[in-house]
Amino acid sequence: MNPPQLKPDGSSGRCKQSDAYNLLRRFRLHADAILRFIADPTVPFSNNIAERAVRMPKVKQKISGCFRTIAGADNFCIIRSCLDTLRKQGHSMLEVLRRAFTGDPIMPAA
């Protein structure tokens, strides 16, 4: 249904292919990697986890307009990073915060 475009005789280089053809070609070449989440339950379906890690600082920046200081932005990112790592390691966020405020923080595993 989506045959490759053939280059005219005598021309050099590759012929431009349609988006549909390029997508189908990538699916055929990388089917094992694209569908790995089916065979391996530890592989997530999408990369939304990576996108979610960036979303919160961007929302905070959008709402307040900016971070007031570089140190404040650094501290915000460090706290968010630690909380996100501990959440991914299966810790309860309520317990993590309770222990942090009582002076007995849970340290992320290396």
Dist. CA 35–CA 16, nearest whole Å: 27
Q: What is the mean pLDDT of residues 16-44?
A: 88
Q: What is the dihedral of CA 61, 63, 68, 74, to 10 degrees?
A: -40
What are the tokens at 2?
A: 């989506």
Residue 110 confidence class, pLDDT cut points 50, 70, 90: low
pLDDT of residue 29: 92
- Considering only residues 14 and 65, tell me which one the structure prediction assigns the higher pLDDT: 14
